[in-house]
Amino acid sequence: MAGVLLDMAISLDGLICGPGGADGGLYDWYFDPSDASRPVVAELVATTGSIVIGRGAYGTADDAQGWDETPYDVPHVVVTHRPPRPAPAGPVEFVFVTEGVREAVQRARDAAGDRFATIGGGADIARQALAAGLVDEVQLHVVPVLLGDGVPLFERTGAAARLAPIRVVDAPNVTHLRYRVD
């Protein structure tokens, strides 16, 4: 497979969402892409073979039924100590893993075929995966806004790593940065 990609949008002050979980416009480039962002979005969708997310991204309620749609027609691996009851009815394929991030990433790798297992939601999961050395590439979509409060992608994680730049895409109102973890 292609590897494990950590792919997240962040504000300039390093937050993945604003106060109260508000998205703060961090995914505008995704849902309404400019000409410059469109190939980045298309590549992301085309090269993702499975997705890893946290329980928050899936839906926090005990009976949450996930999402009705997603651009990614691939297995969505949800890391959680609390799988929803009843199990979601579809249409998106969710796999619930209760054994932690390492097992979830392994399951996602197994499901990714020749594409990426993409970690796409959940700051805790992103940090744990980085600290455990499970991430091969990092793509950050840096949005020029200071949200001031919310959930940081990184806090002092204790995970030190040098990254090798792959590319920078300078799009209107977002800068797409992609790196390989050495």
Q: Which residues bind its own copies (CB under 8 A)?
A: 12-15, 18, 130, 138, 140, 142, 144-150, 152-165, 168, 170, 172-173, 175, 177, 179
Smallest distance from its own copies to CB 105, Å: 18
Q: Which is nearer to its own copies, 36 or 64 (CB)?
A: 36
Smallest distance from its own copies to CB 120, Å: 18
List residues bridging with 11 in a β-sheet: 143
| Spatial CA neighbour of 121 closest among 177, 63, 70 | 70
Q: Which is nearer to its own copies, 67 or 154 (CB)?
A: 154
Smallest distance from its own copies to CB 63, Å: 31
Q: Which is nearer to its own copies, 90 or 148 (CB)?
A: 148
Query: What tokens does 90 get?
Result: 């579809």
Is the preceding peptide bond at 19 cis, omega within 30 degrees of 0? Answer: no
Smallest distance from its own copies to CB 156, Å: 5
Smallest distance from its own copies to CB 149, Å: 5
Strand, helix or coil at 128?
Answer: helix
Q: How far apart are CA 177 and CA 141, in angstroms?
A: 6
Q: How far apart are CA 77 and CA 8, in angstroms?
A: 16
What is the torsional sign of CA 100, 6, 57, 1?
negative
